[in-house]
Structure 1
Amino acid sequence: MPTKTMKAIQQHEFGGPEVLLYEDSPVPEIKPGEVLVRVHAVGLNPPDWYLRDGYKMLPPEWQPKVDFPVILGTDISGVVAAVAEDVTAFSIGDEVYSMVRFPSGLAGGSRAYAEYVSVPATELALKPAGIDHVHAAAAPMSLLTAWQFMIDLGHNEPNPLQPYRHEPVPLEGKTVLVNGAAGGVGQFALQLAKWKGARVIAVAAGRHEAFVRDLGADEFIDYTKTKVEEHVHDLDLVIDAVGGPTTGRFLPTLKRGGALFPIFPLGFSGADEAEKLGVTVSSVQVRSSGAQLAQLADLLAAGTVRVGVDSTFALADARSAHDRAARGGVQGKIVLTVK
């Protein structure tokens, strides 16, 4: 069993990376149905800096109430240190990975930037064989997002982003454009589309061309030199891994009956235009799923899906990791390592 205290990155106020403090914190106590994981690596995701900053990008009525101190993070890979008496699927010593309590932990309940984290057993899966903890920790949120958008939603929870259920679309033989193809979600969207038999056009900055072509892109567009919406047409699906207010510019690139899936849908205002063009615009909030991570572990172990890692930082150096994220141009994922 672990000691009663651990090192963690905590914050006691909202702000920039400077509010992230490397401090002592109590080791979490596991409840029925939970597993205690000794963390070896933590993957960074946009919700980490959204929470750090106080979710300023959300409308006030959507901003969750946060109790300090807060420990950020959701994505972990590590080794099982203890299991609750009612947990039979995992044993001490198992190598595992997870996206912890998302979206239920939006207000800081996931607590992954730490040496130990408690995880509901239903959100845990055995780590993919043949890849290390760094690459395993880089996968969960981004890969689950791409999977739930494109392959299998995997739940029947009401969609907080739209009144209708999100439905993936058939990919075989289709032409799919992935905007932000070198980023966390984009790299996986590209690979899943290729796996399902689509022709994929990857959009990213020129310096990422070799990276996305290596992942299987059939065509590459450097958005710093070419206006994508003026270059392509008759697409079946656009995965906009950047999203936001500019996502509507992709509507004219789609054929009637096509679909636009913005990963970050806030700010989209083209619903009327989409209806006129006969284009479906749909989004969904990613949700934790140990069962889906178990499926994805097979793809990761086989090398069918690969994980790009931009950079790694020690847990104690989380500020620098957030600084790296803020500079943009990330190729793959940023990961914290935990000794």
Structure 2
Amino acid sequence: MKAVRIHEFGDASNLRYEEIETPEPADDEVRVRIHAAGVNPADCKIRQGAPFPIDLPWIPGWDIAGVVDEVGMDVTEFEPGDEVYGILPFPGDGGAYAEAVAVSPTEGKLGQKPESLSFEAAAGVPMAGLTAWRSMQLTDLKPGQRVLIHAAAGGVGHFAVQFAKRRGAHVIGTASGSNEEYLRDLGVDEFVNYREERFEDAIEPVDVVIDAIGGGTFTRSLEITKEGGVIDNLPLNLTPEQEEAADEHGIRVERSDTLDREWLDEITKLLEDGTVAPTLDTVFPLAEAQQAHELSENGHLCGKIILETREGDGN
């Protein structure tokens, strides 16, 4: 089968489209013939230099959508022919940038693919959708509260906007001006073009911040977060000085990389009834993973980047 791997850490040119052996599932695994894979910022960061031990060569990616074609003898929840989507064990070994993957349903987070979604759209949901859902849980966002969502047009951001509106919150989104109409349609109540104005000067104080950027954006967010408010720091990149500043402002900071399998079932229901929908920025063939990573690293996306992954002629 075809897969994209890195043999050394570095820039996107290290991604190689090559032939490897098709995996065979263990007794507690299923094999999924992947139709589409999502590209996430974590893929690029780990390609540059893993923050945790991984073995090379390495297949990037965690978001998948495809069809189960073989089931281990100990697996009862899936059958061959099931259309599935989900996230491979994270931060585990990755493996989504390939034509097939063997995965344990209990270690991964696999669910039945929503019938209303294409494989490409479904592959754009798992990591971004689950991360945004986790933000709702961690911040305990309530009806009527004001929430500021940074990078609101991005993968996590556009799901967070939809989940926050569903909770009855007053939603403020930051993005470039070209995404204002899109975010207005998605439901934001206030829009800040970060290229033309500083968000801390443009809006009134907020109860909750969902920060997918970190760094200076986190520090500036402290200025407009109410005392007793909460910031979900998605990049997990706070300095001791930033933690101290949050304490001084009386602001709770949430940081977590835990994604629960049960949340995917809740998201699936919302996808099926049309309450929530993924947005795709660009779909690339698997062989163009390098271009997909370059686009991801350039930022300014509207939704998710997807790799279209089809089974080859051989194994």
Structure 1 SS opposite 2:247: helix
Which of 29, 36, 41 is the matching residue for 2:36?
41
- Structural mapping, 1:206-285, within 5 Å: 206-268=177-239, 269-285=241-257
Aligned length: 307
Separation in 2, partners of 1:290, 1:78: 18
1:81 aligns with 2:65: no
Whichever residue aligns with residue 42 of structure 1, its letter is A
Structure 1 SS opposite 2:228: strand
Q: Report what 1:25 is aligned to.
A: 20
CA contact (8 A) 1:9 1:71 kept: yes
For residue 234 of structure 1, report the CA deviation from its aligned partner.
2.5
CA contact (8 A) 2:31 2:103 kept: yes
Separation in 1, partners of 2:149, 2:103: 32
Residue 83 and residue 290 in structure 1: after superposition, are their counterparts in 2 closer, same or farther (change >3 A)?
A: farther
- Structural mapping, 1:46-65, within 5 Å: 46-55=41-50, 63-65=51-53
Whichever residue aligns with residue 125 of structure 1, its letter is G
Measured against aligned partners, the alpha-carbon deviations of 1:198-224 in whole angstroms (never above 9, x if no partner) come to: 010111110011111111111111011
Q: Report what 1:124 is aligned to.
A: 110
Q: Report what 2:97 is aligned to.
A: 113
Q: Report what 1:145 is aligned to.
A: 131
| Unaligned 5+ runs, structure 2 | 311-315
Q: Report what 2:55 is aligned to.
A: 67
Separation in 2, partners of 1:281, 1:19: 36
Separation in 2, partners of 1:44, 1:225: 29
Structure 2 SS opposite 1:330: coil
For residue 270 of structure 1, report the CA deviation from its aligned partner.
2.1
Whichever residue aligns with residue 18 of structure 2, its letter is E
Structure 1 SS opposite 2:20: strand
Q: Report what 1:93 is aligned to.
A: 81
TM-score, length-scaled by structure 2 = 0.94
Separation in 2, partners of 1:44, 1:253: 32
Separation in 1, partners of 2:183, 2:177: 10
Please report the RMSD computed on the Cα atoms of aligned residues, expressed in angstroms.
1.4
TM-score, length-scaled by structure 1 = 0.87
Separation in 2, partners of 1:31, 1:319: 31
Separation in 1, partners of 2:295, 2:249: 39
Q: Report what 1:320 is aligned to.
A: 291
Separation in 2, partners of 1:256, 1:10: 46
Measured against aligned partners, the alpha-carbon deviations of 1:34-60 in whole angstroms (never above 9, x if no partner) come to: 1110000000001111121113xxxxx
For residue 245 of structure 1, report the CA deviation from its aligned partner.
4.3
- Structural mapping, 1:1-12, within 5 Å: 6-12=1-7
CA contact (8 A) 1:233 1:254 kept: no
Q: Report what 1:204 is aligned to.
A: 175
CA contact (8 A) 2:41 2:297 kept: no
Q: Report what 1:60 is aligned to.
A: none
Whichever residue aligns with residue 245 of structure 2, its letter is E
| Unaligned 5+ runs, structure 1 | 1-5, 56-62, 152-166
Whichever residue aligns with residue 127 of structure 2, its letter is M
- Structural mapping, 1:275-314, within 5 Å: 275-287=247-259, 289-314=260-285
Query: Could you list the runs of 4 or more consecutive aligned residues of structure 1 that deviate by over 6 angstroms after TM superposition?
Result: none
Separation in 2, partners of 1:273, 1:317: 43
Whichever residue aligns with residue 273 of structure 2, its letter is A
For residue 271 of structure 1, report the CA deviation from its aligned partner.
2.2
Percent identity between matched residues is 42
